[in-house]
Chain A
Amino acid sequence: MSRAPVIARRELSGYFFSPIAYVALGLFLLACGAAFWNDFVPGQPVEMRHLFDWMVWILIGIVPILGMGLLAQEWASGTIETLMTAPVKETDVVLGKFLGSIAFFVVLLAPTLLYVVLLRVYGRPDMGPIISGYLGIVLVGGLYFSVVLFCSSLTRSQVVAAALAAFILALLTIVPFYVAGQASLPTFWRGVLDQAVYRRYADFSKGVIDTGNIIFFLAVTAVFLFLTVKVMESRRWK
């Protein structure tokens, strides 16, 4: 049996001892609060679509902060040596770290359920798009964390890991968003840009659960996790 759950548990409890995680949590909730407050006025539709759309952007800043230390810290402090000399596989470590982070991500999202409560108190929201929106956000978070985990495996420096991760996430999300807005694009490039996180996510916040989109998120996440395992293996082999 895999040791991933054991590592995931430790990782999750590690978050609660990390000041930086609380800072990130605070920033995230503050930004979400601002986005929600903007929409939570009489006359606006009773929905969370804008909030979810904002989260995709906000998380580009938040997830690198949360995940930068996942492996970089292990290399820097040398704990990787005690970890890897226990009978565990690289896959266990990477999967464990990833699952622990996702668990913390769910904790991070939990307070935003308050907005759902508020919407239900003051109106009659359509729950479908809200549920699909949350599903989409968890998938986006998974993809983001897999990217950050990969960056964190490359270096001992958490700052470098965070910067690199933010850069890659920007490439996957922000840049296509703006480029796609430009006038005539060749069909090929339009196809490429359709693979961008933001476009894939948009359906979820509209309430559409498309298997293709789910597979897109899971596949990209799996690719980054696989790369992380390979980096972990090769770093010890040098």
Chain B
Amino acid sequence: MISVRDLTKVFGHTLAVNRISFEVQKGQVVGFLGPNGAGKSTTMRMLTCYIPPTAGTATINGFDIFHESEQVRSNLGYLPENVPMYTEMKVTEYLDFRGRLRRMARPERLKRMDYVLERCWLTTVKHKTIGHLSKGFRQRVGLADALLHNPPVLILDEPTVGLDPTQIRETRKLVRDLGGDHTMLLSTHILPEVEAVCDRVIVIAGGQVVAQGTPDELRTSRRMQARVLVECRGPAKEVQTALSRVSGVAEVELLETGGNGSYISAALRSKEGYDVREEVARTVQQQGWPLREIRLEHATLEEFFIQVTANQAMGQIGQAKSAGGAA
């Protein structure tokens, strides 16, 4: 449905998007995740034919973004980042105008307008002027516009930004419901959003794809193994040695050593395939150290995100350094 190959965008001397490639299958909801300035919006603007790529190509629903721009735009619903709209128009006027732009015949236009107004909870404000609406309502008008012509592909740039918690939940539910019928690429830097609505995640940082997979895959990927937290009372050094001898434990990190005789906590990273909790508990008991807590902590997507994006930044610094050293 969406197929991106080596897409690149250079603004002046800035490399905004650097050879991005990915695929989105029909009916999938894919989250485009990355810190601010990672190149998410730029990529989306290229996919929606607003700006041309410097190099590389992409197809949407089989149409090339460069050579078949008009067909691409007909097959696409797009919610831009700041939801720009003609503020002097009424909601229905605006949607009617957008429908006409998209060559929708009158009966179809009216039918679809009713549908999207209902779907995006806009029925109560449909006769209001857009300029008088709150940010949340405007966001929904933008979403209604993107859905109006029932496009097979939806590209939403930060659809929940500026909404209150209830609206965020409603919008996520809407996105969830729309998945299946529509292929969707939505950008965000809010992690729970990705876990809540996306089938797949593409993490982008510094203009490059740094990871992709399902939220579960990313969480359980090798570098993000779960860790076991242990809290007990005992001499720090001895506790560390004893725990590191437990079979299956790869690494022991002392988090809090406390003073003499107070509780200490340690984080254990286990080798792949091991659940070390029982063994650790036995060891601590045998040594006679009072055990207060033992807990398996799953990696969150947030940690994954921070780790990959930080790695990316470090990688770039490293590259710059080595390039400087070579010169």
- The answer to whether B84 has its CB under 8 Å from any CB of chain A is yes
Contact B84 A87 (CB under 8 A): no
A78-B80, A79-B85, A79-B86 as given contacts; A85 in contact with B97, CB under 8 Å: no
A79 to chain B, nearest CB (A): 4
- The answer to whether A50 has its CB under 8 Å from any CB of chain B is no
Encoded as 1 (CB less than 8 Å from any B CB) or 0, chain A from 30 to 57 comes to 0000000000000000000000000000
* 22 contacting pairs across A/B (C-beta < 8 A): A3-B100, A3-B101, A6-B100, A7-B101, A9-B97, A10-B86, A10-B89, A14-B86, A77-B87, A81-B80, A81-B84, A82-B142, A84-B50, A85-B80, A86-B73, A86-B102, A87-B70, A87-B71, A87-B73, A87-B101, A87-B102, A89-B70
Residues of A near B89 (CB, < 8 A) are 10
- The answer to whether B205 has its CB under 8 Å from any CB of chain A is no
CB-nearest residue of chain A to B48: A85
- The answer to whether B158 has its CB under 8 Å from any CB of chain A is no
Residues of B near A18 (CB, < 8 A) are 88
- The answer to whether A88 has its CB under 8 Å from any CB of chain B is yes
- The answer to whether B76 has its CB under 8 Å from any CB of chain A is yes
A3-B101, A86-B101, A88-B101 as given contacts; A79 in contact with B84, CB under 8 Å: yes
Contact A82 B80 (CB under 8 A): yes
Q: What 11 new A-B contacts, CB under 8 Å, besides A84-B50, A86-B101?
A: A3-B103, A6-B97, A18-B88, A82-B84, A85-B49, A85-B73, A85-B76, A86-B98, A87-B74, A87-B103, A88-B101
A6-B100, A85-B48 as given contacts; A78 in contact with B84, CB under 8 Å: yes
- The answer to whether A236 has its CB under 8 Å from any CB of chain B is yes
Encoded as 1 (CB less than 8 Å from any B CB) or 0, chain A from 59 to 103 comes to 000000000000000000111111111111100000000000000
Contact B86 A85 (CB under 8 A): no
Residues of A near B98 (CB, < 8 A) are 86
Query: Which B residues, 94 to 125, have Cβ-Cβ distances below 8 Å to chain A?
Result: 97-98, 100-103
Query: Which B residues, 76 to 92, have Cβ-Cβ distances below 8 Å to chain A?
Result: 76, 78, 80, 82, 84-89
- The answer to whether A188 has its CB under 8 Å from any CB of chain B is no
A44 to B80 alpha-carbon distance, docked (Å): 61
- The answer to whether A122 has its CB under 8 Å from any CB of chain B is no
A1 to B101 alpha-carbon distance, docked (Å): 11
Contact A6 B101 (CB under 8 A): yes
- The answer to whether A17 has its CB under 8 Å from any CB of chain B is yes
A45 to B102 alpha-carbon distance, docked (Å): 54
CB-nearest residue of chain B to A78: B84
- The answer to whether A178 has its CB under 8 Å from any CB of chain B is no
A162 to B127 alpha-carbon distance, docked (Å): 33
B189 to chain A, nearest CB (A): 20
A13 to B102 alpha-carbon distance, docked (Å): 19
CB-nearest residue of chain A to B155: A85
Interface residues of A (CB under 8 A from B): 1, 3, 6-7, 9-10, 13-14, 17-18, 77-89, 236-237
A18 to B87 alpha-carbon distance, docked (Å): 11
A117 to B24 alpha-carbon distance, docked (Å): 67
A13 to chain B, nearest CB (A): 8
Contact A78 B74 (CB under 8 A): no
- The answer to whether B145 has its CB under 8 Å from any CB of chain A is yes
A10 to B130 alpha-carbon distance, docked (Å): 15
Contact A85 B78 (CB under 8 A): yes
CB-nearest residue of chain B to A77: B84
Residues of B near A13 (CB, < 8 A) are 93
Residues of B near A89 (CB, < 8 A) are 70
A79 to B49 alpha-carbon distance, docked (Å): 15
Contact B50 A85 (CB under 8 A): yes
> When A and B form their complex, which 4 residue pairs have the shortest distance between CB atoms, in order from nearest?
A78-B84, A17-B88, A87-B73, A6-B100
Determine which residue in A7, A9, A17, A80 has the highest number of CB atoms from chain B within 10 A of its CB, and name it. A17
CB-nearest residue of chain B to A7: B101
A84 to B76 alpha-carbon distance, docked (Å): 12
A82 to B97 alpha-carbon distance, docked (Å): 12
Residues of B near A9 (CB, < 8 A) are 97
A14-B86, A87-B102 as given contacts; A81 in contact with B70, CB under 8 Å: no
- The answer to whether B314 has its CB under 8 Å from any CB of chain A is no
CB-nearest residue of chain B to A80: B84
A90 to B101 alpha-carbon distance, docked (Å): 13
B319 to chain A, nearest CB (A): 28
A60 to chain B, nearest CB (A): 27
A103 to B295 alpha-carbon distance, docked (Å): 73
CB-nearest residue of chain B to A15: B88
Encoded as 1 (CB less than 8 Å from any A CB) or 0, chain B from 53 to 88 comes to 000000000000000001101101010101011111
A7 to B100 alpha-carbon distance, docked (Å): 9
Contact A236 B73 (CB under 8 A): no
A80 to B88 alpha-carbon distance, docked (Å): 15
Residues of B near A83 (CB, < 8 A) are 101
